[in-house]
Amino acid sequence: MRLAYVLAPLALFGCSEFGLEDQHRPNDLPDTDTQTDIPPDTSDPVDTSDPVDTSDPQDTGVPPVAGEPVAVAGADREVSPPICTTTNAIFCLGAERQDILNGTASYDPAGLTIDEYKWTVASKPPDSHSLMLQNTNKQPTFFFDVAGTYDFALTVKNHAGVWDSTPDHIVIIAKPSRDFYVQLTWNQATDLDLHVLRNNGALYDNANDVSYCHQDADWGVPSNATDNPSLDWDSISGYGPETTTIQTPAAGTYAVKVVYYGLDGNNECRHDVDTTLVDCPDSTATVKVFYDGVEIDSFTHTLTESSQVWYVTDIGWPGAAITEHDTISTTALSSCF
Ligand SMILES: [Ca+2]
Ligand SMILES: [Ca+2]
């Protein structure tokens, strides 16, 4: 069993506090609007300096439909996926953002009040498990859990009960803000762990292995934090993400490994060695490597039993040179103490 202090915050991480899916929750809020959505603004995906989304007809002086209000979802922009400091690693306080989605600029040309707002997630990265829980708020919170592109649609209703028939879209790109960004996600309510190791270090060797056991370390230049790694998330109840990030890594080779720990912070699903135990569900893991905010490679493998180790890749620095391994072995699991 993992430490209690790990379990307590992660119970939060895995629940609706962060708007994450679990196995009992639908994949997404249904897009119940029957109107034709305006497609994403792909010509201008990141215009943080441009308050007017010029490719969006609703913002370019196209007359609104008579009698309808006008939804204004705001300008497309970039955000960084949440990166935690070592003081709140694993449990990332403030990960949900309430300052990104804002429909308060919506209006009615006839001067009627806007009485209702309805946001939908039109699309999101396939490895995201985030849900919008307060989709009738003017400014709903949303957890940009993984790197990638998110498209939201907003429609509004005026005081006469008429909805805007042409929802307004806003495209948000979640782009890692650190040079080294490795992201693990998976498809089951199981406990997988991301490990990033330096210098051919061994698993659970805290000096050289950053994982849930040892979430940060002083690598590179001693006392210089910019080359230190941190595990920013640990998920024990499923899906991830788990990310390990370094602002500016020191030269060297960083190995990325994924360990199948078990279920909910314990490893008691070894049906292969004890048939009285439940069988560890097969879990398909995806590791994405980002360099300077850009995805440079992606790897997938299905792990089938607790204690399996997937040696994904080495990352050489500088330059994020990829040397794929894609091998499976086994390890003794550690509860860290
Ligand atoms: Ca985990
Ligand atoms: Ca350092």
pLDDT of 326 > 50? The answer is: yes
Residue 292 C-alpha to ligand 2 middle, in angstroms? 19
Which comes out higher in pLDDT, residue 222 or 86?
Answer: 222
Quote the pLDDT of residue 266: 81
Alpha-carbon Rg for the chain, nearest whole angstrom, is 22
Distance (Å) from CA 180 to ligand 2 centroid? 14
- In the structure, ligand 1 is a single-atom ion and the residues with CB under 5 Å from it are 191, 193, 234
Rounded average pLDDT over 297-303: 98
Give the pLDDT band of residue 334 (cuts 50, 70, 90).
confident
The half-sphere exposure of 282 on its side-chain side, counting CA atoms within 13 A, is 4
Question: Average pLDDT over the chain, rounded to whole?
Answer: 82
User: Strands across the sheet with 168-174, in order?
Assistant: 77-79, 168-174, 148-158, 114-123
Could you tell me which CATH class the domain 180-330 is placed in?
A: mainly beta
Tell me the ligand closest to 240's alpha carbon: 1
Select from 114, 153, 122, 105 the least CA-distant residue to 28. Answer: 122
pLDDT tens profile 247-284:
999 999 999 999 999 988 887 788 777 888 888 999 99
| pLDDT the model gives residue 42 | 40
- CA 81 to chain CA centroid, Å, is 6
The alpha carbon of 202 and the centre of ligand 1 are apart by a number of angstroms equal to: 18
> How many angstroms separate the CA atoms of 329 and 318, rounded?
28
Q: Which ligand is nearest to the CA of 6?
A: 1
Q: From the CA of 234, which ligand is nearest?
A: 1
For 129-138, what is the mean pLDDT?
92
* Distance from residue 261's CA to the centre of ligand 1 (Å): 7
| Cα angle value 196/19/190 (rounded, 5°) | 45
- The residues facing 252 across adjacent strands are 317
Ligand 1 center from residue 236 Cα (angstroms)? 4
Q: Which two tokens stand for residue 20?
A: 């994450």
Task: Record the tokens describing residue 12, joined without a space.
Answer: 């939060």
Minimum-distance ligand to the CA of 195?
1
How close is the Cα of 219 to the center of ligand 1, in Å? 22
- Please determine, for residue 139, whether its predicted confidence score (pLDDT) is greater than 90: yes
Nearest bound ligand to CA 219?
2
- Distance from residue 18's CA to the centre of ligand 1 (Å): 17
Give the pLDDT confidence of 82-130 residue by residue, as tens digits. Answer: 776 554 445 565 577 888 999 999 999 999 999 999 999 999 999 999 9
- Domain residue spans of the chain: 180-330
The owner of tokens 């990332």 is: 92
Instruction: Place 35 in a pLDDT band, splitting at 50, 70 and 90.
Output: very low
Q: Report CA(4)–ligand 2 centroid distance (Å).
A: 29
- The pTM for the full model equals 0.80
What CA–CA distance (Å, rounded) separates 279 from 59? 54
